[in-house]
């Protein structure tokens, strides 16, 4: 069950149906899975200090190769001691390969068998990303876990397009593994195949035969119906290698996480808790709260009376609403802090339920309450 590779190790410590608890060890942290990784795209989790992120319980966060290669540049970060030192984050860090961002943000991208050429969304300058270049940048960034460069077709892409992306992603994955490995940095492969489960399973089989330290599912939550994602996850998740960490990229809502954990996934990241906080939306044990709603005007209760976070202990909905209506950034940071704490707490309770063999009941009740008590739209 172990896979030590210079400081990197993963072990499954409990199972409850397909759901499982694991312990991921990197050179900088021990991470209990299932885990949600806060997104620090540009080497900061928006509005939060590293201390605050750690205080939610997070021991691994994510940063993005695409953004950091453009600004401030990976060579500058390397010269300044790597991403951990640059941003003051002492725990584990996972870097995305830049593939997904090139396909979502960059302008005038041109893909070929060797890599992808694109223009920066910041200043229009031309850049090129190949599997080797992505691994080089991630080595300069100094992350604990590097992701392979992959091609991410849109969620609505046809089968032929998806087949071609899978083929190219396989070739690129091989080249990433062939690139000189950075000591202390694990490498994860990424399964593509959209919602074509047979393509997913065959790509999974191909990547599972390669010496990766973990396997990710990319290309979900990119426009496909949510029920199709749930169905695909329950088909694919349980067939992923048992001994490796399983990472579902870019997903999702609290309810998505319950479904994905139920399918045997271990690691997650998503901008939802941080981005929605900045738009005034809190995620709670009772569903979503839109703090700007008039109902909160003179409400002295916290965002979530089941929550123990510093924000729920100190600030009323009435005060948070006052700041949100005034456009004050303090509310963005407080709601971000709450949402990250809530996600960490959700994962803590999920792990507890798995260890105690009651995950299915926990997931069912939690989803039911979140759907029934959701405040948004009422």
Residue 7 touching a copy of itself (CB under 8 A): no
Dihedral-angle region of residue 362 (phi above 0 means left; psi in -120 to 50 means alpha; beta otherwise):
alpha
Distance in angstroms (rounded) separating the CA atoms of residues 2 and 20: 15
**What does the per-residue mask of binding to a copy of itself show for 294-323, with x meaning CB under 8 A?**
---xx-x-------------xxx-xx--xx
Nearer to a copy of itself, 285 or 319 (CB): 319
Q: Which residues pair with 94 in a beta bridge?
A: 62, 145
Q: Which residues pair with 309 in a beta bridge?
A: none
Nearer to a copy of itself, 200 or 317 (CB): 317
Shortest Å distance, C-beta 290 to a copy of itself: 17
Q: How far is CA 229 from CA 154, 183, 200, 220, in A?
A: 14, 35, 12, 7
Instruction: Cite the DSSP H helix spans in 179-316.
Output: 197-208, 226-236, 254-262, 272-278, 310-314
Instruction: Choose one: 1-9, 72-80, 210-218, 357-365; the region binding a copy of itself (CB under 8 A).
Output: 72-80
Shortest Å distance, C-beta 114 to a copy of itself: 30
Distance in angstroms (rounded) separating the CA atoms of residues 368 and 332: 28
Residue 160 touching a copy of itself (CB under 8 A): no
Closest Cα to residue 337, out of 282, 257, 267? 282
3-state secondary structure 187-219: EEEEECCCCCHHHHHHHHHHHHCCCCCEEEECC
Contacts (CB under 8 A) with a copy of itself, residues 208-247: none
Positions annotated as catalytic residues are 96, 269
Which residues touch 212 (CB under 8 Å, ≥6 apart)? Answer: 173, 177, 187, 188, 189, 244
Contacts (CB under 8 A) with a copy of itself, residues 260-279: none
**Interface with a copy of itself (CB under 8 A), residue from 8, 36, 66, 86:** 86
Instruction: Choose one: 8-16, 80-88, 157-165, 208-216; the region binding a copy of itself (CB under 8 A).
Output: 80-88
**Interface with a copy of itself (CB under 8 A), residue from 2, 71, 306, 349:** 71
Write out the residues near a copy of itself by the rule CB under 8 A.
42-44, 46-49, 71-72, 76, 79-80, 86-88, 297-298, 300, 314-316, 318-319, 322-323, 325-326, 328-330, 332-334
């Amino acid at each position: 069950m172990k896979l030590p590779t210079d400081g990197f190790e993963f072990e499954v410590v409990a199972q409850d149906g397909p759901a499982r608890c694991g312990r991921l060890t990197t050179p900088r942290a021990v991470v209990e899975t299932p885990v949600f990784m806060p997104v620090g795209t540009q080497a900061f989790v928006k509005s939060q200090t590293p201390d605050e992120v750690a205080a939610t319980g997070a021991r691994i966060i994510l940063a993005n190769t695409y953004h950091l290669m453009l600004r401030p540049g990976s060579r500058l970060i390397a010269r300044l001691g790597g991403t951990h030192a640059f941003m003051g984050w002492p725990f584990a860090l996972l870097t995305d390969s830049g593939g997904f961002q090139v396909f979502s943000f960059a302008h005038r991208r041109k893909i070929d068998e060797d890599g992808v050429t694109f223009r920066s969304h910041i200043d229009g300058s031309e850049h090129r990303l190949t599997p080797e270049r992505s691994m080089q940048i991630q080595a300069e960034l100094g992350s604990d876990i590097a992701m392979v460069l992959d091609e991410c077709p849109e969620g609505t892409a046809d089968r032929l397009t998806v087949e071609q992306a899978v083929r190219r992603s396989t070739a690129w994955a091989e080249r990433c593994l062939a690139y000189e490995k950075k000591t202390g940095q694990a490498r994860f492969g990424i399964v593509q195949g959209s919602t074509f489960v047979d393509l997913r399973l065959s790509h999974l089989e191909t990547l599972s035969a390669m010496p990766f330290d973990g396997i990710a599912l990319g290309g979900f939550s990119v426009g496909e119906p949510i029920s199709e994602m749930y169905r695909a996850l329950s088909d694919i998740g349980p067939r992923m290698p048992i001994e490796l960490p399983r990472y579902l990229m870019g997903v999702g809502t609290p309810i998505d996480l319950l479904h994905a954990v139920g399918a045997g996934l271990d690691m997650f990241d998503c901008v939802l808790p941080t981005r929605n906080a900045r738009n005034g939306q809190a995620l709670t044990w009772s569903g979503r709260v839109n703090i700007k709603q008039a109902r909160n005007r003179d409400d002295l209760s916290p965002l979530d009376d089941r929550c123990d976070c510093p924000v729920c202990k100190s600030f009323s909905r009435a005060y948070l609403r006052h700041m949100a209506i005034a456009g004050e950034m303090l509310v963005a940071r407080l709601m971000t802090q709450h949402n990250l704490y809530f996600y960490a707490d959700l994962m803590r309770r999920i792990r507890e339920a798995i260890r105690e063999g009651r995950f299915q009941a926990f997931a069912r009740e939690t989803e039911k309450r979140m759907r029934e008590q959701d405040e948004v739209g009422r």
